Amino acid sequence: MSADLVIKNLHVSVEGQEILKGLDLEINKGEVHAIMGPNGSGKSTLANTLMGHPAYEVTEGEIWFKGQNIVKLSPDQRSRLGLFLAFQYPSTIPGVSAASFLRTAVNARRGQLDASGNGNRKGESISMREFRQLLKEKMAMLKMESSFAGRYVNDGFSGGEKKRMEILQMAMLQPEIAILDETDSGLDIDALRIVSEGVNQLLSPNLGVLVITHYQRILNYIKPEYIHILVNGRIVMSGGPELALKLEETGYDWVKEAVAGG
């Protein structure tokens, strides 16, 4: 049996420049992995490529998810299959409330568009009552005030609120593999703890998580079993939690030297 998500020899170019240079990684549901790497090593490039961002061109290699090569699928198709990305820099959507945004997202994830061309769906959409119940439950889990639901998506949100909004989306969409791109960046220690506890409550045998981070500190809260180090577009080292601690002590120079020397 191959893993739920299999990345094979992935090469990705942005604006004609090769950023990922042959990346291999396998993730199963129920597993928590972390990718650590210095700035500019290609972490967000990997995250955006997995989700199908059009600026990231796969020039070689494959991405298999649940037995299907998804390289040619659109982001919404990938989402329906069960992939999710929490952005490093979430966008603001003035005029659209968080609740309305989330309900649209949940419905889009649930059903395929039918052939009518007028936006109708074959799948069953969530009832208003069921939606409100689910939203209330997930917001409580993330310690979010109920007024949050009525605010425009990320409009005037603090760094911590934006990241909570990302994890709230994840909680509502119930993906099978979730990629968290520097969810720790810009968070103070309290926000980091709340966001991490939210993620931990979502962990289950039906969810695989890829935590992408520059710093070790989020891994004090979300505990991965597997750590991978990304340098210059390749995973140069993989190991257990001890690898993150070693990085914290010695920084990335040690890895770069080990790679250059070996």
* Interacting residues with Mg ion (CB under 5 A): 43-44, 88
Using CB under 6 A as the binding rule, the residues of this chain from 191 to 250 that contact ligand ADP are none
Residue 45 CB, nearest approach to ligand ADP (Å): 3
Q: Between the CA of residue 147 and those of 53, 98, 114, 192, what are the distances in Å?
A: 32, 10, 34, 21
Rule CB under 6 A: choose which of 2, 9, 40, 254 binds ligand ADP. Answer: 40
CB atoms within 10 A of CB 10: 25
Residue 86 CB, nearest approach to Mg ion (Å): 12
For residue 96, the partner it binds in ligand ADP, Mg ion, none, with Cβ less than 5 to 8 A by kind, is none
Using CB under 6 A as the binding rule, the residues of this chain from 20 to 39 that contact ligand ADP are 37, 39
Per CB under 6 A, does 90 bind ligand ADP? Answer: no
3-state secondary structure of 202: helix
Rule CB under 6 A: choose which of 15, 145, 242, 253 binds ligand ADP. Answer: 15
Alpha carbon distance, N-terminus to C-terminus of the chain? 32
Using CB under 6 A as the binding rule, the residues of this chain from 48 to 87 that contact ligand ADP are 55
Q: Which CB sits closer to Mg ion, 144 or 229?
A: 229
> 226 near 240, Cβ under 8 Å?
yes
Q: Which CB sits closer to ligand ADP, 19 or 207?
A: 19
Q: What are the tokens at 137?
A: 């439950």
For residue 216, the partner it binds in ligand ADP, Mg ion, none, with Cβ less than 5 to 8 A by kind, is none
Helix axes 253-261, 242-250, angle to 10 degrees: 110
Sign of CA dihedral 79, 84, 85, 86: positive
| Distance, CA of 234 to CA of 54 (rounded, Å) | 21
Q: Which CB sits closer to ligand ADP, 194 or 212?
A: 212
> 53 near 75, Cβ under 8 Å?
yes
Rule CB under 6 A: choose which of 6, 32, 36, 43 binds ligand ADP. Answer: 43
Q: Which CB sits closer to ligand ADP, 99 or 229?
A: 229
Q: Phi and psi at residue 16, in whole multiples of 5°? A: 80, -5
CB atoms within 10 A of CB 258: 13
3-state secondary structure of 55: coil
Residue 230 CB, nearest approach to ligand ADP (Å): 7
Rule CB under 6 A: choose which of 10, 41, 82, 180 binds ligand ADP. Answer: 41
For binding to ligand ADP (CB under 6 A), which residues are involved?
14-15, 19, 37, 39-45, 55
